[in-house]
Amino acid sequence: MKNGIVYLVGAGPGDPKLITVRGLECIKNADVVVYDRLSSPRLLSFAKPEAELIYAGKSPIRHTLKQDEINQVLVSRALEGKTVTRLKGGDPFVFGRGGEEAEVLLDQDIPFEIVPGITAGIAVPAYAGIPVTHREFNSTLAFVTGNEDPSKEDTSIEWDKISTGCGTIVFYMGMANLPHIVEKLTANGRSQDTPVAVIRWGTRPEQQTVTGTLADIEEKAREAKMGHPAIIVVGGVVSLREKLRWFEQKALFGKRILITRSRSQASVLAEKVENLGGEPFEFPTIEITDPEDFGPLDKAIASIDSYDWLVLTSVNGVQSFMNRMRHLRTDIRRLSTTKIVAIGPQTRAEIEKYGIFCEFVPEEFVAEAIIEMFKGEDIKGKRILLPRADIARKVLPETLGSMGANVSEVTAYSTVMGAGSSEELIRLLQDNKIHVLTFTSSSTVKNFVKKIGPDNVSRLLKGVVVASIGPITSASARELGLVVDVEAAEYTIDGLVQAILNYFKAN
């Protein structure tokens, strides 16, 4: 059997968007992904569903897999002919032991490729508003390991040279040795007035920064309970933080927001959250699939020009209906005599992509508003087509039917349980890693509660902000025992984001 290949990939310092294009390709193409503690779990969502995911979590105080065991995993999977991506925090060749792993692969005649990543020593200070070089402060920069055993007699760090010979010194993984680092720098001539920053979980929502000088940074870091993982920056450039800090000024900085929409729709909300400094965590509790039986929808499309009204209640409904028309090779011009109604601006925008314009879009984006509109129309005996989800509320077809209309309600798409891991979701909630839950439909709420278990709602959601896209979704949440903290005034994704912003501004 031909050997596989191993890609040693730098995942960047934590923010998943700092992955390189090449690195993302390697994740997507991998049969096996071996990942570290400091690589973002969100990057794993890009792996193939059938890919084997192996956690090799390592911290300065605890290893899930020892380095020899990691090496063996890389070798064994590659010898099976598999494509292996070794996903490492930061850059594989900057205190990442990538060189050692590459040597092992070379010894076994296993082909490998190095994919550089953005190293934490540059990115983490940047997210804290600290440029590691600035011509008014320094012309030299040093990266130094911070977890060298201070009891070693023969240190590999030439403290007498770097203490005063480098304008900026960046220490990796040095939190446990901060007193030793301070002592060595000052003993070798670095002024106690030198600015210092300690940055924990840089580029992530948990990012925490403490600044001081060599004289007081130990005490300040201790008071702030700083721990691993952290980057320590020593030098005059630290003084620029107060005016250059940008990441922490974003409106949703520090907030990890759970998105429960289907994976195909989650990106719109995720992008808005990221632009505002929050971290979206996509956990689809629903997925959109084809209906079990296309028969009723196909029959309606075959006689589409016989309908007086076509009512579309969601973007999913528009896409499913139009895709089926295309599949059946039904000319869109057959809709020319049919009046079209849309619930909400996003549904209308989706319809208009096909060059079709709506007769009516209610000001309030719920079924009840459409009923109010039809009260002003003579719909007795009129044919109304309502293609939508299999689990949609019955208030619209039942009420229109009672008004004398001939309503054809057909299933255009089905909503099923999302494939997200219940164990992972519960762990995140237990560890207080989720700050906001967003729900965009009743089905997202119902499936979320099924995922975590009804008996766990009050316990796991304590302290979590629950945000709903509108009153129907809110009512479903309350029926299931959730306390709704945020409800959008405009029942759209933009309205939901604005409501979340308003909540945090007020609180």
pLDDT digits (tens, 9 = 90+) for 190-199: 999 999 999 9
Q: How confident is the model at residue 61 (pLDDT cuts 50, 70, 90)?
A: very low
Catalytic residues: 36, 58, 173
Q: Is the pLDDT of residue 47 over 60?
A: yes
Q: Could you tell me if 8 and 113 are in contact, meaning their C-beta atoms sit under 8 angstroms apart?
A: yes
Please give the class, per CATH, of domain 256-285+418-506: alpha beta
The interaxial angle of helices 442-452 and 471-479, nearest 10 deg, is 30
The amino acid occupying position 40 is S
Which pTM value belongs to this model? 0.78
CATH number of 122-247: 3.30.950.10
Contacts of range 238-244, beta carbons closer than 8 Å, 24 or more positions apart: 238/130, 238/195, 238/196, 238/197, 238/211, 239/137, 239/195, 240/129, 240/130, 240/131, 240/134, 240/137, 241/128, 241/129, 241/130, 241/197, 241/209, 241/211, 242/129, 243/129, 244/129, 244/130, 244/131
- The whole-number pLDDT of residue 302 equals 94
pLDDT, residue 323, reads 94
pLDDT tens track for 76-119:
999 999 999 999 999 999 998 999 999 999 999 999 999 999 99
Domain covering 5-118, topology: Cobalt-precorrin-4 Transmethylase; domain 1 (3.40.1010)
Query: pLDDT tens digits for 356-379?
Result: 999 888 877 677 788 888 888 888
pLDDT digits (tens, 9 = 90+) for 231-260: 999 999 999 999 999 999 999 999 999 999
First to last CA, the chain: 62
> Domain spans of the chain?
5-118, 122-247, 256-285+418-506, 295-415
CATH node for 295-415: 3.40.50.10090
- pLDDT of 378 reads 86
